[in-house]
Amino acid sequence: MMSRINIYSTGNCPICDKTKALLQKWDIAYQDYRIDQSKDALREMSEITSGARTVPQITIDGKWIGGFSELTELHMGGELDELMNDAK
């Protein structure tokens, strides 16, 4: 099954690591795209986010939601669970 959450990250980003750890804790699968290792991933992130230059950047079902704080806000509000349950 294809992962519904994509994270665009780099190898030296503590917030990226924190984001991935939280998703693992919540038992939510994700695909990690390292923009420091792939020009294609960087280009894709830039297109999706209209040129964002910070990481992590997160998409759910191809829709850009923002970064770590936006993800935690979705989770705290229960909206992340709703999004994840919608496709089950």
* Mean pLDDT across 72-82: 91
The count of structural domains within the chain is 1
**Please, what is the average pLDDT of the chain?**
92
Express each pLDDT in 33-76 by its tens digit.
999 999 999 999 999 999 999 999 999 998 999 999 999 999 99
Axis crossing angle, helix 79-86 with helix 68-76, rounded to the nearest 10:
90
| Predicted structure pTM score | 0.90
SS3 30: coil
Give the domain range for residue 80.
5-86
Q: Residue 70 belongs to a domain with what CATH number?
A: 3.40.30.10
Which residue do the tokens 């850009």 mark? 64
